[in-house]
Amino acid sequence: HDLNCLNINELEKHAYNIMDKQTRDYYNEGADSGSTLRENIEAFGKYRIRPRVLRDVSSVDTSVELFGHTNSIPMGVAPTAMQRLAHPDGELGTARACKNMKVAMGLSSFATTTLEDVADASGDNPHVLQLYLFESRDHSHKLIQRAKKAGYKAVFLTVDTPFLGRRNLEIRNQFKLPPHLKIANFTEDEEPALGDEQTSNSPNQARQRKQKAASKAGYHDGEKRVNPTGPITFHSHAPNPTLSWERDIEWLKQECCPEMEVWVKGIATGEDALLAVHHGVSGIVVSNHGGRQLNGALATLDALPEVVEAVQGKIPVHVDGGIRHGTDVFKALALGADFCWVGRPALWGLAYKGQAGVELMLRLLSDEIKLCMGLAGVTKVQDISKDYLVKLIMPAALTATPAVDAKQRALLPLVN
């Protein structure tokens, strides 16, 4: 036990005090007012567990199969960008912690460590590559080939980012990578092409064009300009608003299969889940990008049931967003998710103690998942079902945005 850090909320507080303001704001912020970020967390509070008793829970198995490997818990570390901002261990620390804890890892394509180095550190522990498809297919092609060669199990295509969400602190802080760090998987000749600057009418893109100009004038790594760099580095690379199921998912499948699976990350409706099945992806992640994209979007836990219902078990359904407790993982699984991913808690772990902090985070959640299962009377993950859950009928004030203060909430009656 680390007596100073007994749960994820305490970890968050430690990390808050350790990280510099720019990093903290970048990692912790949601888009706009942050209501979706908050609701991702609060959604778990709308459910209560129905524990069963006298079931011999002396042996509880929290493991699940994922990508042909045994994952010690039904949860992995989600891809999050630029982890060396949190701690010099960065993505390598996360990869080593995941390997030690037998937990799958997602690597952001905006990582500050090369995908090959992360693959080496991961060994045979499953790792997947999160991908943005830029307009330059050449860049994506090279990245995918590298990932294949390095043994990545799947590509998780992020589909909730046709434009970048508006993060106020990021803009105000003029967020940028410090000079000693770089986006490791983009080199100058692989620089993703920008979107159509002339025709784009996104409000973000004018900002991005300005930032791109600043970036070009910005930081140089020796003789060679490392991309993306300079002020608000990734803002200088417009996401690709042209992506479509027909053209791009088909292209990606041809690029990746059979060595790597193609998943889509950022599904929030039953309709899109059905399209994902129709277009033959291997799995989906119900996600709203940690509340960093469309503010006002449904909390992922609230979107999960309609997605599970639409998919009908044809492909795996994973979920991320707002998971801070073992009971949250249990609730998501009871609502039909096959697996959960946590993002910010890993960043807080890194900030707290590097690799050891990520391991601590995983151990805390692992212990909580096991305890929750035992106390709920479940010995195998596959047995977690909706029978173990009840949704509270919430007084309107509890579901209103902005969030009701925790103290206030405790005073309000909950009606079952």
The residues carrying an active-site annotation are 289
Q: Which stretch binds ligand HOC (CB under 6 A): 231-239, 267-275, 314-322, 333-341?
A: 231-239
The verdict on 84 binding ligand HOC (CB under 6 A) reads no
* Shortest Cβ 40–ligand HOC spacing (Å): 14
* Shortest Cβ 132–ligand HOC spacing (Å): 4
The verdict on 295 binding ligand HOC (CB under 6 A) reads no
Other CB atoms within 10 Å distance of the CB of residue 58: 7
Contact 305, 177 (CB under 8 A): no
* Non-local CB neighbours of 295 within 8 Å, separated by 6+ positions: 30, 31, 32, 33, 34, 35, 36, 37, 165, 166
The residues pairing with 320 across neighbouring beta strands, listed in sequence order, are 341
- Residue 135's Cβ-side half-sphere holds a number of Cα atoms within 13 Å equal to 12
The verdict on 163 binding ligand HOC (CB under 6 A) reads no
* Non-local CB neighbours of 101 within 8 Å, separated by 6+ positions: 72, 359, 362, 363, 366
The verdict on 132 binding ligand HOC (CB under 6 A) reads yes
Residues 72, 66: Cα–Cα separation, whole Å = 10
If the CB atoms of residues 234 and 339 are measured against ligand HOC, the closer one turns out to be 234
The verdict on 164 binding ligand HOC (CB under 6 A) reads yes
End-to-end CA distance of the chain: 36
Dihedral pair phi/psi, residue 186, rounded to 5° = -115, 125
* Shortest Cβ 234–ligand HOC spacing (Å): 4
Q: Which stretch binds ligand HOC (CB under 6 A): 9-17, 46-54, 234-242, 393-401?
A: 234-242
* Shortest Cβ 357–ligand HOC spacing (Å): 21
Other CB atoms within 10 Å distance of the CB of residue 206: 12
If the CB atoms of residues 292 and 324 are measured against ligand HOC, the closer one turns out to be 292
Report the residue closest to ligand HOC, judged by CB: 239
If the CB atoms of residues 182 and 325 are measured against ligand HOC, the closer one turns out to be 182
Torsion of CA 223, 229, 231, 237, to 10 degrees: 140
Task: Please count the residues of the chain.
Answer: 416
The verdict on 321 binding ligand HOC (CB under 6 A) reads no
- Residue 278's Cβ-side half-sphere holds a number of Cα atoms within 13 Å equal to 9
Contact 132, 158 (CB under 8 A): yes
If the CB atoms of residues 238 and 304 are measured against ligand HOC, the closer one turns out to be 238
Buried b (16+ CB within 10 A) or exposed e, 61-80: ebebebbeeebbbbbbbbbb
Residue count, binding to ligand HOC (CB under 6 A): 10
186: tokens are: 């983009």
* Shortest Cβ 186–ligand HOC spacing (Å): 11
- Return the residue matching tokens 């080199």: 187
* Shortest Cβ 281–ligand HOC spacing (Å): 20
The verdict on 161 binding ligand HOC (CB under 6 A) reads yes
Q: E strand or H helix at 72, and its extent?
A: none
The verdict on 289 binding ligand HOC (CB under 6 A) reads yes
Task: Give me the 186-225 binding string for ligand HOC, x by CB under 6 A, dash otherwise.
Answer: ----------------------------------------
Residues 394-413 that bind ligand HOC (CB under 6 A): none
* Non-local CB neighbours of 409 within 8 Å, separated by 6+ positions: 45, 398
The verdict on 156 binding ligand HOC (CB under 6 A) reads no
If the CB atoms of residues 93 and 239 are measured against ligand HOC, the closer one turns out to be 239
If the CB atoms of residues 45 and 106 are measured against ligand HOC, the closer one turns out to be 106
The verdict on 110 binding ligand HOC (CB under 6 A) reads yes
- DSSP letter string over 116-140? HHHHHHHTTS-EEEEE---S-HHHH
Binding site residues, ligand HOC, CB under 6 A: 81, 110, 132, 161, 164, 234, 237, 239, 289, 292
